[in-house]
A and B are shown apart, each in its own frame.
Chain A
Amino acid sequence: MGCSDSSFIKDKKSPKVIKAATIIQNWYRGYSARLKARQRHALTVFQSIEYADEQSQMQLSNFFSFMLENYTDEREEDPELIARLFGCNLPDTREDYVKMIDVPDSYDGPRLQFPLTFTDIESLIEGFKQQKILHPHYVLAVLFEAKKVLMQMPNISHISTLLSKEITVCGDLHGKLDDLFLIFYKNGVPSNENPYVFNGDFVDRGKNSIEVLMILLASLLVYPNDLHLNRGNHEDFLMNLRYGFTKEIMQKYRVYGNEILKILEDVYTWLPIATIVDNDILIIHGGLSESTDLNLLHRIERNKMKSVLMPPIPSDGDSAIDLKITKVGSEKIKTSVSLSDQLLQHEWEQVITIFSASNYYEDGSNRGAYLRLSFNTLPKIFQYQVTKATHIRPLYQRVNTVEGSAIRMLKERIIARKTDLVHAFELYDRNKSGKLSLSQWAFSMESVLELNLPWRSLSTRLVLTDRDGNVDYMSSFQNIRIQKPVKEVHSTLIETLYRYRSDLHIIFNIIDTDHSGMISMEEFRTMWKLFKMHYGVPVDDSEVDELANKMDLNKDGSIDFNEFLKAFHVVHRFDPSRKSNKPVVQE
């Protein structure tokens, strides 16, 4: 199209040109900043919701204590129940049982040979890259062997970077196999020369928790002195119920899932609690508080801690140690000033939080990182991000994805509190105009939902506002509703069951010890009564009963609780108020 010279303006320094360029740059910087702010807002939404979830876990944990207290009276009538509920003793699945599980010739996944060597680790990595499912025979074998090795370990391992060994520390992986592969790619696979510490939360949320766990445990078996695993709060059968690992196992292992879960429960309790490097650096999931006594941590019988949500049930003969090590998600590494062997009292100098699951909330939400420690030097941090795309997507697309996901999540919270929210709105709206000021709307949202969020900034994505900046508050509930499993049922009941569905799921699962998916109506009613009492929900017992009946889930005095809870879900409608005609990319 002609000589390129002619398309350039002859006098580049003309003030018009400079002004034009400045205008475009100015505009672009503003636009880009607003995109980044939206991205930050989305992240804030995810974090707030996650924090609120952790609070509700505390509530669940209190409920178990409450249940234990209130059931003690009934102990005489049903001593079985307590034992079942708090699983003092797991029914033994013997090792020879594992050996009886046949691996057919047709199985084309990784085959392991015990004792494991590095070829088995490579075999697993290769196999998982090709999306093979490891045969349950090997899963169970690895779990059994891992338990034996872990049982030999103290609560707190001491390792050293002398002898020029650099140690790599990784944080939460949460079942993100791609992140683990990326770390191995950048940093090398574990070996005698390449030691690793994995600081808990290997599982839950991501869809390859079992694969991640298998690689880590296999590596432990091959290099027990150079592969260190600390227990995180997600190495916990109750957390797994809530955050997806249990589901993943039952989906991938339909026949042997239950066996695997049982052994897993046990293996978890044998995971060490912490690692100390060079007597100087403490690596522990969830960090410490001022009142944490490390010497106590050294001494406790860690295998008695079945779950972070449950009070440990001391059996007769135990000392009455009331241990509640609350772990809140992210890990911390602390360096101490003094080099005391006993680590009694410390002025911790510095805390580093390492998180190794990139795109944790959503594609594009965050990078992951790992740390390399070597003798007498500052830790080195390496960051990365997994992406399935072959090129980086433009910023606006990435922001749209993250934001879209965050808003969806937030809307689900909003619809779950519709009754309370409408009540709060109407308190402000004396003349029933259907409108509130932005301030009043924001205040109501915050106080009912108890989420500390930038509501004013988020309002454009959540509600309709008029020219005067007033909010049409009922539009808070547009484009989403909770599915009503049957027609004639109160919204309050539906909302309540939707809101507490994951807590209820956990509770029901605990009662359902044979994992049949069914519990007796009697047990259902009793649990519901206790739940209602403790959580203070304003729902009539008879209503719930009636609902179960109407849903036709009452089968010969038993209720299929998965079906019951599955019925409470939300339906999103495509949001027409988003006038953008760009496709919102969501994988």
Chain B
Amino acid sequence: MAEDREWESTETAVAELHKKIKEAFEVFDHESNNTVDVREIGTIIRSLGCCPSEGELHDLIAEVEEEEPTGYIRLEKFLPVMTEVLLERRYRPIPEDVLLRAFEVLDPTKRGFLTKEELIKYMTEEGEPFSQEEMEEMLSAAIDSESNSIHYKDYITMMVVDDN
């Protein structure tokens, strides 16, 4: 019956998600004992295509952590939570045009770029501020050394392509 087929395909879809999540998890399971360091959970979740904010990430971690946090997250706890996240299509990635508009908000005079100082100021003082490491990392790829600025439209195009 049609309902059965639908149920079946959901089952398969879930099974597929499980495999996908397990795969992403195992890459960071350095001791091969179905645990990962909690500090890598963000990377794992994002590598599965989700874009939670830092706040949302903290909530997720709280969900998958042990009662008494050990610094490690077990696959058993991670799998069901992550499956829900993917099934519900939570934390969808930012579309390119939204990203572009965000840059444009920070560049109201529409110069087409932000200076290095401006970028640093916004990224480290507003929103969910970058750590120094994150800031340096972004600068190394984004800043055109000659003009000491970021031409955000080109930057976005380049990054989006590389990100597939």
Residues of chain A touching chain B, judged by Cβ–Cβ distance below 8 Å, are 4, 6-9, 12, 16-34, 36-37, 40-41, 44, 392-397, 400, 438-439, 442, 454-457, 460, 579-582
CB neighbours (8 Å) of A26 from chain B are: 51, 53, 94, 128
Residues of chain B touching chain A, judged by Cβ–Cβ distance below 8 Å, are 16, 19-20, 23-24, 26-28, 42-47, 50-51, 53-54, 93-94, 98-99, 101-103, 105-106, 108-109, 111, 115, 117-118, 121-123, 125-130, 134, 137-138, 140-141, 158-159, 161-164
CB neighbours (8 Å) of A32 from chain B are: 134, 137-138
CB neighbours (8 Å) of B163 from chain A are: 31, 34
The answer to whether A16 and B127 touch across the interface, beta carbons within 8 angstroms, is: no
The answer to whether A439 and B51 touch across the interface, beta carbons within 8 angstroms, is: no
The answer to whether B53 and A22 touch across the interface, beta carbons within 8 angstroms, is: yes
The answer to whether B27 and A25 touch across the interface, beta carbons within 8 angstroms, is: no
A-B contact count (CB 8 A): 141
CB neighbours (8 Å) of B20 from chain A are: 456
Q: Top 4 A-B pairs ranked by shortest CB distance?
A: A37-B47, A33-B46, A21-B127, A22-B127
How far is A394 from B23 in the complex, measured between Cα atoms in Å?
27
The answer to whether B19 and A439 touch across the interface, beta carbons within 8 angstroms, is: yes
Residue of A nearest to B137 (CB): A395
Residue of A nearest to B126 (CB): A21
How far is A527 from B130 in the complex, measured between Cα atoms in Å?
63
Residue among B16, B23, B46, B137 making CB contact with A34, cutoff 8 Å: B46
CB neighbours (8 Å) of A456 from chain B are: 19-20, 23
How far is A122 from B24 in the complex, measured between Cα atoms in Å?
48
Residue of B nearest to A34 (CB): B47
Residue among B44, B46, B111 making CB contact with A29, cutoff 8 Å: B46
Closest Cβ of chain B to A388, distance in Å, is: 17
How far is A394 from B42 in the complex, measured between Cα atoms in Å?
21
CB neighbours (8 Å) of A4 from chain B are: 115, 117
Residue among B117, B126, B140 making CB contact with A12, cutoff 8 Å: B126
Given contacts A24-B103, A37-B44, A582-B158, contact A29 B54 (CB under 8 A): yes
The answer to whether B27 and A17 touch across the interface, beta carbons within 8 angstroms, is: no
CB neighbours (8 Å) of A16 from chain B are: 105
Closest Cβ of chain A to B91, distance in Å, is: 9
* Selected A-B contacts with CB under 8 Å, 26 pairs: A8-B118, A12-B126, A19-B102, A19-B127, A20-B122, A21-B106, A21-B127, A22-B128, A23-B127, A25-B127, A25-B129, A27-B93, A27-B94, A30-B51, A32-B138, A33-B46, A33-B47, A34-B46, A37-B27, A37-B44, A37-B46, A40-B27, A395-B137, A396-B159, A456-B20, A457-B27
Residue among A18, A20, A30, A33 making CB contact with B103, cutoff 8 Å: A20
CB neighbours (8 Å) of A37 from chain B are: 24, 27, 43-44, 46-47
CB neighbours (8 Å) of B164 from chain A are: 460
How far is A239 from B46 in the complex, measured between Cα atoms in Å?
41
The answer to whether A25 and B128 touch across the interface, beta carbons within 8 angstroms, is: yes
How far is A29 from B125 in the complex, measured between Cα atoms in Å?
16
CB neighbours (8 Å) of A397 from chain B are: 141
Residue among B27, B129, B130 making CB contact with A44, cutoff 8 Å: B27
The answer to whether B128 and A394 touch across the interface, beta carbons within 8 angstroms, is: no
The answer to whether B109 and A7 touch across the interface, beta carbons within 8 angstroms, is: yes
How far is A41 from B44 in the complex, measured between Cα atoms in Å?
12
Residue from B24, B45, B46, B130 whose CB has the most chain A CB atoms within 10 Å = B46
Residue among B93, B121, B134 making CB contact with A30, cutoff 8 Å: B93
The answer to whether A18 and B141 touch across the interface, beta carbons within 8 angstroms, is: no
The answer to whether A18 and B126 touch across the interface, beta carbons within 8 angstroms, is: yes
The answer to whether A455 and B127 touch across the interface, beta carbons within 8 angstroms, is: no
The answer to whether A23 and B98 touch across the interface, beta carbons within 8 angstroms, is: yes
CB neighbours (8 Å) of A36 from chain B are: 43, 47
Closest Cβ of chain A to B96, distance in Å, is: 9
CB neighbours (8 Å) of B158 from chain A are: 582
